Amino acid sequence: MTADASSTVSPSSQQHRPILRILLIGLLIVLSGYYIWVLYKAITPNVSLAYKAYYIKNQTLYWQPKQPNLTLAIPSNLNVTNNIPNLSRAGWSFDTDNKMRELTQQGGLYFTLSATPTDNITITFTLAKAQQPIKPLTFIFNHHQGTLLPQDQGKTLIAQLPKQQFLPKSQQLQAFILTTPTALQVTTINLTTANVNTLSLSHKTDHIKPTIGNEK
């Protein structure tokens, strides 16, 4: 005679199965929550803006722990031959030569301000020697596209950054990236307040047909 297989399973073990199932489901939920938390911390690490820009996003050329937020004051006079943490990694040469730093193709600045400006900001690039040929250069400031205009026979490039184009939060990186077809030998970059937006004014003239005599 053969014994019934179902008779070998005790009633107590059958009662434990739902409990084990609940424990396994709970363990899976806890582990899933833990790994989601680890993934979130990896994506949004609690580090400074300067650390994130240099080590994580590879945006900046230098790392300066003493400037964790990459904050610039207005006005600012930046000597680009110094290891300024605001310089972009793209475009700028790592080494300097003859009191200037070379900028090729696309590059610029990353920075924050302690407060949103109430006026437009003038940005001025001073060159060791005039670019040849002398012509305007395009740039992107956050979501705004503009033009750097040559002044002083091409030895300076000037543009105004509209106040409404600055990101509103103090912990948001402002990005200024220019495009140049030829290498620029830059010595300084200046940021100053502009009370009058003279560079962006467009002068329009109506085409008036001259009248000769009593032409009708």
The predicted-structure confidence for 84-105, as pLDDT tens digits, reads as follows 999 999 999 999 988 999 999 9
Q: Tell whether 134 and 64 lie within a shared domain.
A: yes
Q: Tell whether 66 and 99 lie within a shared domain.
A: yes
Helix (H), strand (E) at residue 138: strand 137-141
What pLDDT is stored for residue 157 in this prediction?
96
3-state secondary structure of 196: coil
Q: Are 131 and 184 contacting, i.e. CB atoms less than 8 angstroms apart?
A: yes
What pLDDT is stored for residue 134 in this prediction?
84
3-state secondary structure of 149: strand
Specify if 212 maps to a domain.
no
Backbone angles phi, psi at 159, to 5 degrees: -150, 160
CATH code, domain with 99: 2.60.120
**What's the rounded Cα separation, in Å, for the pair 41 and 60?**
22
Q: Tell whether 82 and 20 lie within a shared domain.
A: no
Is a pLDDT exceeding 80 seen at residue 211? no
pTM, rounded to two decimals: 0.71
Joined together, the tokens standing for residue 108 give: 């610029």
Q: Of all residues in the chain, what percent carry a pLDDT higher than 90?
A: 56
Joined together, the tokens standing for residue 32 give: 């899933």
Q: What is the mean pLDDT of the chain?
A: 83
Is a pLDDT exceeding 70 seen at residue 209? no
pLDDT band of residue 36 (cuts 50, 70, 90) is confident
Specify if 30 maps to a domain.
yes
Q: Tell whether 72 and 26 lie within a shared domain.
A: no
Specify if 202 maps to a domain.
no
Q: Are 148 and 190 contacting, i.e. CB atoms less than 8 angstroms apart?
A: no
Number of domains in the chain: 2
**What's the rounded Cα separation, in Å, for the pair 166 and 162?**
7
Q: Tell whether 16 and 105 lie within a shared domain.
A: no
3-state secondary structure of 13: helix
Q: Tell whether 71 and 156 lie within a shared domain.
A: yes
Is a pLDDT exceeding 90 seen at residue 213? no
Q: Tell whether 58 and 159 lie within a shared domain.
A: yes
**What's the rounded Cα separation, in Å, for the pair 191 and 75?**
5
Q: Tell whether 140 and 57 lie within a shared domain.
A: yes
* Domain encompassing residue 147: 49-194
Joined together, the tokens standing for residue 209 give: 């047909």
Specify if 2 maps to a domain.
no
Unique residue bearing structure tokens 């009708």 = 216
Unique residue bearing structure tokens 């680890």 = 38
**What's the rounded Cα separation, in Å, for the pair 188 and 81?**
8
Specify if 204 maps to a domain.
no
Specify if 20 maps to a domain.
yes
What pLDDT is stored for residue 8 in this prediction?
56
**Overall residue count recorded for the chain in this entry:** 216
Specify if 210 maps to a domain.
no
**What's the rounded Cα separation, in Å, for the pair 100 and 188?**
8
Q: Tell whether 92 and 32 lie within a shared domain.
A: no
Q: Tell whether 71 and 34 lie within a shared domain.
A: no
Residue of 14, 42, 47, 16 lying closest to 171 (CA atoms)? 47
pLDDT band of residue 200 (cuts 50, 70, 90) is very low
Q: Tell whether 30 and 114 lie within a shared domain.
A: no
Beta bridge partners of residue 174, listed in sequence order: 111
Q: Tell whether 77 and 173 lie within a shared domain.
A: yes
Q: H helices within the chain, ranges in order?
A: 11-43, 49-51
